[in-house]
């Protein structure tokens, strides 16, 4: 029996999911060791001594999210490096061994208390993968992991979401072993036992992972779903002959879902406010603008899902002014978008159609739809027409409606709208549809774009790159003083995308020097430009060598481009 059968009603949404849909826009907060090491994924060998946010202010962070119109915060209590932000009994690699609050602090407790004081919801994420634990990969670790979940789910009040990601196994410190440990993502964590623990301690929380059981990953970290995405979904493994599991699904299927999916598991679009999940000083000033966040909102919540924006306090423990401004601007724009509702009504569907009549001719260009889900998601085709000058005029057509659908169309003067269901899954026709009509400023749909890493004035794209197996090499036309490299993977990430690398620079005397060794953390899920900085060095050529790729059997390094910072 599939593990999902124990936790999901099938195609009919649970009350838990419907309540979650009333608070569809929230944050996930990354703040830990990587904030101090300037990494995305710590290796697990970091000392707790480096964690000391001298100005940490949970109220400041929560207030910023509230002023940004967010409904809650999911706190990353433990990332892959294994450092726990609460005084756990399961490992010494925790906050009590840091200098912060003289070793008596509990960051999880402070964040949970601040959220409740401000009326925001709190959720929790404890990484299944632990690159610090010597027990990881052995039969003992899953019980340690579940005990960590027990502590979090028992000691910090009611949670609105418990979050599981798909990073499972690989290189790590592992108590000094410094080796690769691999696990079976379906079997190792015993999801039946693990999710049962969460359900027993947090019965009202939705559980998020690649496969749900309540909310699914959208398949990317760019913040968007397919415009016609379905809440219905049947997860499939990306490894033939195996069961799907967190970290083992066909990610692209999460982006669109399936009209005839076995389960109702709506998607969550998680994406960072910056290009990375943790704070990195070189990304300051390059946050997504309020307009970009509104675009993400329309492509997540507006497509029947949830929006989860990543926030990252700086090493002092506060959100930067640029971060807070982006959130405030987003709220102002979202409030403006919904500021002029003209008509809202629950319409009975008769003969496949429902008509919303206005008392007078109105200027309309924006529409919100919600489908009757009492018998599951049914609509997979519909049209919207406006009654303009005595005639019905086609305004838009679509496929899915589900929990919510936000649609823009060219402004018309109409005295009625007609919604017609043109296709359904099976023979069931929903009994009603909720319709809200707006007149919105068209300027709200002009989405500004922030400057990307590749638009930096000190960036020089390299040409004439020679790729030989897992090595890329480029000789410059003239020697340059270099201070960094930006590697841009293909999107979506391919089998030949490097995970571990050496970066070498050739000196004017012809000698090669390795200037950096490391990994491109999270590049498979978030294939964005990767910035590598080092002490300035004069060079005449560059060489990037991949020691391991997404597919360990890959023989050819793959990339979109590579360039230098001068």
Task: Kindly report, residue by residue over 256-275, the tens digit of the pLDDT.
Answer: 999 999 999 999 999 999 98
Judged by average pLDDT, the poorest of 200-209, 450-459, 501-510, 534-543 is 450-459
Dihedral over alpha carbons 510, 511, 515, 517 (to 10 degrees): 120
C-beta neighbour count of 4 within 10 angstroms = 21
Domain boundaries, the chain: 3-337, 341-445, 453-565
Q: What is the mean pLDDT of residues 240-257?
A: 91
pLDDT of residue 2: 79
pLDDT over 70 percentage in the chain: 99
Cα gap 270→90, rounded to integer Å: 29
- CB under 8 A, 24+ apart: contacts of 198-202: 198/149, 198/153, 198/162, 199/7, 201/150, 201/153, 201/154, 202/153, 202/158, 202/159, 202/162
C-alpha closest to that of 283 among 318, 309, 320, 324:
320
What are the C-alpha distances in Å from 185 to residues 38, 129, 500? 28, 10, 22
- Contact criterion met (CB below 8 Å) for 3 and 235: no
pLDDT of residue 456: 83
Range 341-445 has CATH code 2.60.120.260: yes
pTM: 0.89
pLDDT digits (tens, 9 = 90+) for 112-134: 999 999 999 999 999 999 999 99
**The CATH homologous superfamily of the domain defined by 453-565:** Galactose-binding domain-like (2.60.120.260)
pLDDT digits (tens, 9 = 90+) for 22-72: 999 999 999 999 999 999 999 999 999 999 999 999 999 999 999 999 999
Mean pLDDT (the chain, rounded): 94
pLDDT digits (tens, 9 = 90+) for 73-111: 999 999 999 999 999 999 999 999 999 999 999 999 999
C-beta neighbour count of 260 within 10 angstroms = 13
pLDDT of residue 449: 64
pLDDT of residue 350: 95
**pLDDT of residue 1 exceeding 50:** no
- Owner of token pair 């690398």: 501
- Contact criterion met (CB below 8 Å) for 506 and 463: no
Q: How far is CA 469 from the centre of its chain?
A: 32
- Contact criterion met (CB below 8 Å) for 224 and 194: no
**pLDDT of residue 552 exceeding 90:** no
pLDDT digits (tens, 9 = 90+) for 424-481: 999 899 999 999 999 999 888 887 666 677 778 899 999 999 999 999 999 999 999 9
pLDDT of residue 280: 94
Cα gap 209→168, rounded to integer Å: 13
Pairing of strands 498-506, 466-468: unpaired
Q: What is the mean pLDDT of residues 168-179?
A: 95
Q: What are phi and psi of 50, to 5 degrees?
A: -80, -10
Q: Which fold has domain 3-337?
A: TIM Barrel (3.20.20)
pLDDT digits (tens, 9 = 90+) for 151-166: 999 999 999 999 999 8
The structure tokens listed for 528 are: 């964005």
- Contact criterion met (CB below 8 Å) for 162 and 127: no
- Contact criterion met (CB below 8 Å) for 16 and 214: yes
Q: What are phi and psi of 191, to 5 degrees?
A: -60, -30
Q: How confident is the model at residue 144 (pLDDT cuts 50, 70, 90)?
A: very high
DSSP bridge pairs for 324:
none
- Owner of token pair 């004439």: 464
pLDDT of residue 378: 97
pLDDT of residue 454: 77
Cα gap 278→310, rounded to integer Å: 8
């Amino acid at each position: 029996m599939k593990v999902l059968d124990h936790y999901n009603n099938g195609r009919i949404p649970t009350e838990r999911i419907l309540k979650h849909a009333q608070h569809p826009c929230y944050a996930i907060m990354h703040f830990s060791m990587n904030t101090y090491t300037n990494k995305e994924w710590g290796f697990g060998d970091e000392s707790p001594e480096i964690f000391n946010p001298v100005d940490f202010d949970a109220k400041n962070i929560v207030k910023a999210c509230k002023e940004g119109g967010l409904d809650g915060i999911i706190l990353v209590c433990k990332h892959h490096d294994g450092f726990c932000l609460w005084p756990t009994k399961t490992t010494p690699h925790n906050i009590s061994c840091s200098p912060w609050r003289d070793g008596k602090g509990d960051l999880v407790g402070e964040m949970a208390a601040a959220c409740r004081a401000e009326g925001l919801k709190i959720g929790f994420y404890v990484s299944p993968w632990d690159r610090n634990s010597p027990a990881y990969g052995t039969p003992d670790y899953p019980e340690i992991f579940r005990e960590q979940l027990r502590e979090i789910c028992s000691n910090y009040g009611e949670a609105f979401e418990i979050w599981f990601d798909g990073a499972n196994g690989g290189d790590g410190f592992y108590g000094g072993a410094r080796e690769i440990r691999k696990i079976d993502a379906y079997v190792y964590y015993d999801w039946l036992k693990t999710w049962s623990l969460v359900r027993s301690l947090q019965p009202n929380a939705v559980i998020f992972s690649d496969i749900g059981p309540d909310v699914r990953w959208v398949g990317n970290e760019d913040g968007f779903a397919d415009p016609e995405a379905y809440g219905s979904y049947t997860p499939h493994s990306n490894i033939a002959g195996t069961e799907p599991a967190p970290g083992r699904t066909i990610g692209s299927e999460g982006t669109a879902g399936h009209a005839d999916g076995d389960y109702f598991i709506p998607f969550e679009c998680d994406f960072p406010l910056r290009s990375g999940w943790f704070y990195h000083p070189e990304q300051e000033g390059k946050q997504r603008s309020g307009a970009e966040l509104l675009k993400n909102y329309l492509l997540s919540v507006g497509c029947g899902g949830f929006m989860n924006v990543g926030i990252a306090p700086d090493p002092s423990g506060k959100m930067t002014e640029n971060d807070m401004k982006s959130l405030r601007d987003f709220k102002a724009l979202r409030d403006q978008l919904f500021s002029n509702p003209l008509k809202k009504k629950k319409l009975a569907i008769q003969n496949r159609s429902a008509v919303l009549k206005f008392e007078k001719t109105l200027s309309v260009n924006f529409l919100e739809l919600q489908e009757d889900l009492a018998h599951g998601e049914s609509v997979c085709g519909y049209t919207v027409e406006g009654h303009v000058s005595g005639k019905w005029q086609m305004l838009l057509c679509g496929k899915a409606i589900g929990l919510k659908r936000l649609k823009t169309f060219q402004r018309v003067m109409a005295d009625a709208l007609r919604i017609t269901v043109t296709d359904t899954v099976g023979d069931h026709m929903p009994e009603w549809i909720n319709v809200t009509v707006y007149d919105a400023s068209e300027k709200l749909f002009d989405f500004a774009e922030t400057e990307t890493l590749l638009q930096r004035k000190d960036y020089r794209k390299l040409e004439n790159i020679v790729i030989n197996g897992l090595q890329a090499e480029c000789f410059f036309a003239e020697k340059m003083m270099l201070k960094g490299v930006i590697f841009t993977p293909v999107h979506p990430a391919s089998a030949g995308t490097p995970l571990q690398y050496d970066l070498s620079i050739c000196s004017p005397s012809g000698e090669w020097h390795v200037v950096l060794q490391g990994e491109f953390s999270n590049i498979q899920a978030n294939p964005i430009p990767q910035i590598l900085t080092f002490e300035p060095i004069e060079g005449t050529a560059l060489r990037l060598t991949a020691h391991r790729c997404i597919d360990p059997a890959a023989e050819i390094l793959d990339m979109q481009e590579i360039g230098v910072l001068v």
